[in-house]
Chain A
Amino acid sequence: MKKGKKYFKSPYIKGDEKYLHDEFSEKLPLDHFVSNQNENSNNTSRRDFLKFLGFSTAAAVLSSCEAPVVKSVPYLNQPEEIIPGVANFYASSYFQENNFANILVKTREGRPISVTTNKDYEKNNQFGGGLNSRGYASVLSLYDSNRIKNPLKNNKEITWNKLDSEIKKALKETSKKGKKIVFLSSTIISPSFKEILNTFSKKFRTTEIVYSDSISKSAILESNSKCFGESFIPTYNFHKAKVVVSFEADFLGDWLDSSYGRKYSQLRNPGKNMSKHYQFESLLSLTGSNSDKRIPTNPDEQLNYLNYLYSKISMSQSNLEIINKKHKAILDNVCEDLLKNKGKSLVISGSSNTEHQIVVNAINYLLDNYSKTIDYNNKSNLYSSINSNFQKFIKDVENNKVGAVIINDVNIAYNHPSVINQLNNIKLKVSMSDSLNETTRLMDYVCPKSHYLESWGDAKPYSAVYSIQQPTINPIFNSRQVEQNLLKWMNSQATYYDFLKSFYKSLGYNKSWNKILHDGFCEVDYEKRNLVFSSDTAINILKENNVNTKNSNDVFLVLYSKGSMGSGYQSNNPWLQELPDPITKVTWDNYLTISPAHAKSLGLKNWHVANGGLNGDVVNIKFDENVENIILKVPVYIQPGQKENVLGMAFGYGRENSGKVANGVGVSAFELYKKLSLVHKNNFTIEKVKGVEHEYACTQNSHTMMGRSIVKETTLNEYLKNPKSGNKDFKLESYKGSVAASELNLYQEHKPSVHFWNMSIDLNKCNGCGACVIACHAENNVPVVGKEEVRKNRDMHWLRIDRYYSSDMNKDLASEQGIGAIEMYKLMEEPSVAENLEVVFQPVMCQHCNQAPCENVCPVAATTHSNEGLNQMTYNRCIGTRYCMNNCPYKVRRFNWFNYKDNDDFDFNMNDDLGKMVLNPDVTVRARGVMEKCSMCIQNIQKTKLDAKKERRKVRDGEINCACETACDTGAIVFGDALDEKSRISKEKKHPRTYALLEELNTQPSVFYKTKVRNKN
C-alpha cells in the first residue's frame, strides 16, 4: 500500500456541506408508504382492524372448506394429431416489418404459445432471415385485445357480405371513371399474392401498386439501379467477410436482415480467422458496441471518409482532406486491411442518402467483393419501396387522380402524418389491418386481417429459397386474409388455400405439397450472372461529393430504430415495451439521445432520484421547415459514446389509437421523417423546457464495472499468445497458501448424481440483442409489470442483459497518477470519452450456484438444490421473506410484489382471457408474495428426460433446450450435461476462456462465461 494514498474515509467530502447534514440528497418518499392525509381522516380503529381480521379469517376458512366443481370438457371429435398435454410443432413463415424468418410454431391444444426459428432452415448460409426480439414476441400480438373483431364501415361494424358488395361496386365505378385504384402496401414477398394482384390489376385496369415500407431502404435500391442498372438489394455474406467496415449500418440491431447477427458471429470465434470490424457511426448502436474499433463520426464526416477510402483504394487523385489526424490514421489502417482482404471484406452503409450507398458500392466493386461477400444473384426481396414512387402517389392524390386506395399493412397516418389531410381527396379508402391504428380510423372500410399465425401464405424472401406459411389456429375473430379479400372482390369463388395449393403445384418445385408443409421451405435455383459497374456513375463519385466538415457548429438529428420496437408495428405488445433497449436499458420510452458534452453545453441533465429512478430534462425540438412548424416535446437521455452535436431519436413510439399498451408511450419520430431521410442537419433548434422533468424506467442505473472483473476481456493478439489472457484465476491467501476459492469451503459440497446441468455463455458471441429475454418471457410466463414498477426496479425478467461501458480510469492508472480512492471511484463511474468508449454485454440469469447463498437463508426451504445441480424455486413453499433476494450476489431473483394476472392495475396481456392464451401450460403462473427466478427451463429438462425414459435410451447432447439458448441466433449460449464427457458443455467448461462470475465468492455457479476477445491492436 502506497504511502499517502487515500482510501475510503467518510461520506463527508470537504467543501460539500450537503453530505455533512443530509444522509439523503433529497426527501425520501415516506408519505407514500405511511399513508396520506385522506386516509388519516378515515381513522380505522384497532377494534375495527381486529373485526376485519376476524371476519376475513373466518371467511377464508369457510371458503376453503368447499372445493369448487371443476368441469372437464373433452373434444367431441378429437383431431388425430392433437394429444392433450403434448405440444405440436408446425413449420411456417414470419414476415413483418420487412423481417423474414422461417419458423417453427409450438402449439398446445391448438393454440400457438411460442415461435422459434427453424434450425434446419438456418443451416444454409445462403438463406437469410431469422427471428429478432419482435419476431419472438409476435405470438403475443396474435392475442392482442386491440385486434379488429369485425369488418368496419366508418368505424361501425358491418358484415363481410355487405362490405364485399359495396366495395365491389365502388371499385367498378372508380375504374369506369378512369380514376386510379392504388394498392398501397408494405413489401410483398409472397409470389402467390403477387399473382393475385396481377389478376386484380387486369380486372380493374386502373390499378396501380405502390409499395411503402415504414422505414424505407430506397437508397440501396436506387444506388444499385444507378451502379448496375437494376434496382435490387443483395444479400451480404457476413460469414465470409474477414474485414467488415460499417458506416452507420446497425446490422446486428435493425438494418436489412435479421440473419446478419448469425452470419457475422461465425467469424467471431477468437483465433486466426477472427474477423475485424470497424464501425463509423454517429449514435451508439448495438453494432457499434460489438465492433472491434468504433469511430464516432457525424453523417457528413462519414461521406468524406467513404470518399477518402474510395480515392485511396481506387488510387485516384483527390483533394480530400481528413482534418482529424487520429481518424486519418485509422482510415489508413482500414484501407490497408481492406486491400489485404480483397474479396473477403465488406463495406456497408446504413445511410438513407443515395450518395453514400453509391460510394459504398464502388468501394466494394473495387475490392472484388461482389459475388463473394455480396451476392447480387441471390437477391433479398424484403424491401421494395422506392421513395419517389410514394411521393408520386401523394402528388396523384393531391391532383385528384386517385379514386380509391386499398391499404395493406401500411399505417400511413402514423408513418406520414403530413399526408393525412390529402387522404380526404380519395373517395374510397379501404384499409386491411389486423389491429386498430391511426390509419384505420380515417378509413371508409376496414377489413380485419388475419394474423400471420392464422393465415396461409408463401414467401420468396431471397432468390434461393421458397418458404411456406400455414395457419396454426383458426381465425380468432371475424377476420380474413388480404388475398382472400382480393379474390372475393374479383368475383372468384376460390378460397385462397385452394389457390395457393394449385399455385404451388404450378411452380414445379421438387417437394410435394405435404413435404413442403412439413419442412417449411424449399431450395430454389436462381439465375446467376455478372453485373458490371456503370462507368458513368463511377466517374461522378468524387466530383459530386465534397462536404465541408470544418464547420464544427453543424448539428445533426439522426433517426434510428430500436431492435425491440422497429417501426412500431407491434408497439401494443407489452413484452416489447418492457424489453430494455440494449444500450440505454430504458423501457417503455423513446427519447432524444445526446452526447454528454453536448448536453453539458446546453445545460441538460439526467439524474437519479431517491427511489432509484432516473429522471431527465425535457426539450422542445422546433422545426421551421415548409412554413408549418413542428414542435416535439421530448425527454433527453444522455448517451455516452455518441458523437458530439448529433442527436438521436427512435421510431415506433408516440402511438394513438393503437391499444391500451402503446397509446401515449413516447413521442413519434415519424413526425420528423418527412422527406424519408433519416438525417436532419441544422434545420431545427432545441431548447430546454423549464420546470418539466421526465421519469424514465431504466433497468440498469450503473454504467461501469467500477474496476471489477465482471466481464473479462482481452485482445486477439494477447489471446493468441496466451489463451488464458484476461482470465486470471482468482486466488485466495490462506493457511494452505495461495488457493482457488473453491478449496476453502465451509459447506458440504452438493454432488450431482447423474446429470449436472451447466450453461456456458460466450461473451464474444453475445451481441446483446435481447431476443433471449423475449423467448424466456414466452416460455416461462414471465409477467409484464409496467413502467411504474420497472422504475422501482421491480422488473420481472428472469434473464437480463447487463451493459457496461469502459471507463478511462482504472486502479493501475490511479496508483500511477497518485489519485486517491474516493476520487478514483468517482472517476470510474464516468464512462470513457466517446472516442475510447467500449461496450460489453453480459446476459445474467440465475447462476444455479452449487454453494448457493440464497439456499442457506431461506427459512422455509423454498429454494433448494437438486441432485442435478439446479437451484430450485418452489413457489408453493415460499412465504416471501425475500432473504434470498437480498443474499443473492447476482441479483437475479424476482419478487412478485402483486398479483400480475387478473389485476386491473396491470392491464397487460395477463388481464384478459385472450392475452392469457399465450401462457405456457407447463409452467405455474406465480401468485403475489412469492419469489421467482430462472429455472433453466426445468420443464424442458423434465420433459426430455421423460422422453428418454419412455423410449428407453439416454438423453442426447443438445436435446434439451433452454428458451434463451434456442433463441440465441449467434450460438452464444450452450446448455448441457457436464457429467457427459462428450457433450458440448463439457468442452466449454474446460476452455481456457471460461470463468465464473464473481468467482471470489465461491458460489460455484453452474453458469459460466467465456472471456470477450476484441480484435484490436
Chain B
Amino acid sequence: MFLMFGKTTLYFSFFLFTFCSFFSFGQVDYLVGHDIQKGEELFKANCTSCHKLGDEKKARLIGPGLNVEIFEEYTQEWLIEWIRNSSALIETGDEQAIAIFEEYNQSVMTAFPTLSDDDVRDILAYIENPPVEEVAVVEVVENKDVKSENISTQTLLILVLALVSVFGFLTFLKNSLKKASNIEETIFQGLKKWVSSNIAIVLIVVHLGVLVVIVIGWQSLSKIGISQNYKPAQPIEFSHKLHAGEQGIDCNYCHSSARKSKHSGIPSANVCMNCHANIVEGPVHGTKEIAKIYKAVGYDVDSRSYIEGYEQQPIKWVRIHNLPNHAYFNHSQHVVAGNIECQECHGAIEEMDVVYQKEKLTMGWCINCHRDSKIDLDNPYYHEYDDWVEKHKKADLTVEDIGGLECGKCHY
C-alpha cells in the first residue's frame, strides 16, 4: 500500500496551498464539530508521503509544508475542491490553481474523490491544530553491543572485589606476622591448629567454593558463541519501529525472499528508493540517515533524479542473526510451510528502533520449537501421513513426529 502511494502522492503536494487562504475565517469552523483525531488519521494515511506539517518552504517535501497560513490564502470551498480533484480545478481556469500548478513544475496532485467534505474538513482541522511538537529524543546507539557492555561492568566489579580482598588478606597477614613474631607459635602453625579443630567447616567451605566455581564456569562457558541480545550499530539508523510499526509496512514488502528462499534477504537499495525517492526526510533523524541511501545509489534530492555515471557504493549492513555454517535454515520453510509469524523468532520487530537478536538461536531452542509445533495436516503434502496418524492414534503431529529432530534435516 505504501508503495502505491509513494508513487501517486507526488501530486498531493498542492494540498497545502489550498488551505492557506481559508484560515482567517475558517478557523472556528474547523475546530467546531470536526474531529481532529480523525483528521490526523486521514492525514497520516493519505498526505504524509508528500506533505509535512510546518512552514510552506521549510517543511517542503514533495508538496509544500502545511500550516495555518494556507487558510489565509485560500477559501474553504476552494481547498475542498482542490483536494478532491486539483486537475479539474485547473481546467476550469482558476487562477490560484494554475499558479500552484506552475509553481510545482506542472506536476499534478493526486485526486482524492473518495474523501467526503467532512473528511477534508477533519484534515484541515488537524492542520490547523498541529500536535504540540515533542522534543525528539534521539537515542544514541552505542557502538558496542549490550552484551559486551554487561560483561565489562561485571568484570570490573569482580576485579575491584578481588583487589579489595587481596588487600585485606595482605593486611591480615601483616598483622598476624607482627603478632607471630612475639609469640612462639607461627601464624601457619596457628592456622593449622585452627583448621584441624574446625575440619567440618573447612570442608563445607571448600566444597561450596568448588561448586560455585564450577557453576559459574559452566554458565559462562555455555554462553560462548551465543549472541542473544546482540544489537550492533548499523550503517544507517533504520528504525523498524517506524517502518513496520507506525507505518505498518508488511515485513514481506522489504524481506520479500522470506517466502521464496532460505534467506529472508536484506532489501536492496532500490526497494528503499521506491518510497524514499519522494520521502526525503524522516521524523527522527531528518534528512541525515536517508541521505545515506542517496549516497549509496547516487540520487540527487534537489532534482529528484539519479546521477548518471555515479559510482554506487554498497551499504554494508551488520548481520545480526548468524547461524553457524553447518546449520541449514530456510526462511520459506518456516514462513510458508510452517505458517510461522516473523515475530515468533525475531520478537516484536515492529517495536524495535534498533533490531537485536531476541532469541538464543541455539540448537536446543530450535529443537524445543520442533517438539511443540504442530504440522498443517490440511496441506496435501502431509496427506501422506494420514495412515500414520491413524496407526499411531495421534490427533496432531508435531514436527518431531515427521523427523524434524533428525540431524540430517538441518545439517548437510
Contact = CB atoms under 8 A, between A and B. Distances in A.
A872 B408 contact: yes
Most buried by A among B316, B324, B337: B337
A76 B316 CA distance: 11
B406 A76 contact: no
Interface string B196-218: 00000000000000000000000
A867 B402 contact: yes
B337 A923 contact: no
A67 B227 contact: yes
Contacts of A939: 328, 412
A76 B332 contact: no
Contact of A72 (B297, B317, B384, B408): B317
A75 interface: yes
A70 B268 contact: no
B70 to A, nearest CB: 39
Contact of B337 (A73, A867, A877, A950): A950
Nearest to A867: B403
A974 to B, nearest CB: 21
Contacts of B99: none
B381 A874 contact: no
A85 B257 contact: yes
Interface of A: 61, 64-67, 69-78, 83-86, 753-755, 862, 864, 866-868, 870, 872-877, 922-925, 935, 938-939, 942, 945-946, 948-950, 952-955
B270 A77 contact: yes
Interface string B306-343: 00000010111111001011111010110011000000
Most buried by B among A61, A66, A73, A862: A73
Given A73-B316, A924-B326, A942 B409 contact: yes
A946 B270 contact: no
A746 to B, nearest CB: 23
Interface of B: 148, 224-225, 227, 230, 232, 257, 260-263, 265-271, 296-297, 312, 314-319, 322, 324-328, 330, 332-333, 336-337, 379-385, 388, 402-403, 406-409, 411-412
B380 A71 contact: no
Given A67-B225, A70-B322, A949-B381, A874 B314 contact: no
Nearest to A875: B326
Contacts of B265: 74, 83-85
A86 B328 contact: no
Contact of A76 (B261, B263, B268, B409): B268
A953 B270 contact: no
Given A73-B317, A954-B383, A868 B403 contact: yes
Contacts of B296: 76
A874 B230 CA distance: 28
A83 B259 CA distance: 10
Given A76-B312, A870-B408, A954-B381, A946 B322 contact: no
Nearest to A863: B407
29 contacts: A61-B224, A65-B224, A67-B225, A67-B227, A71-B316, A72-B316, A73-B316, A74-B269, A75-B269, A77-B269, A77-B270, A78-B268, A84-B257, A84-B265, A85-B262, A85-B265, A754-B385, A864-B406, A864-B407, A870-B408, A872-B407, A872-B411, A876-B326, A923-B412, A925-B325, A946-B337, A949-B382, A953-B380, A953-B381
Contacts of B267: 74
B384 A754 contact: yes
Given A71-B317, A72-B317, A872-B406, A78 B270 contact: yes
Given A753-B403, A868-B403, 11 more contacts: A66-B148, A72-B266, A72-B317, A74-B269, A84-B261, A84-B263, A866-B408, A874-B411, A876-B327, A938-B412, A948-B381
Contacts of A74: 265-269, 314-315, 317
A76 B403 CA distance: 40
Nearest to A877: B407
Most buried by B among A67, A85, A862, A953: A85
Contacts of A954: 380-381, 383-384
B269 A938 contact: no
A867 B385 CA distance: 13
A558 to B, nearest CB: 45
A873 B380 CA distance: 30
A85 B261 contact: yes
B263 A85 contact: yes
Contacts of B269: 74-77
A696 B112 CA distance: 83
A949 B379 contact: yes
Nearest to B316: A71
Contacts of A868: 403
A76 B148 CA distance: 32
Most buried by B among A64, A75, A86, A872: A75
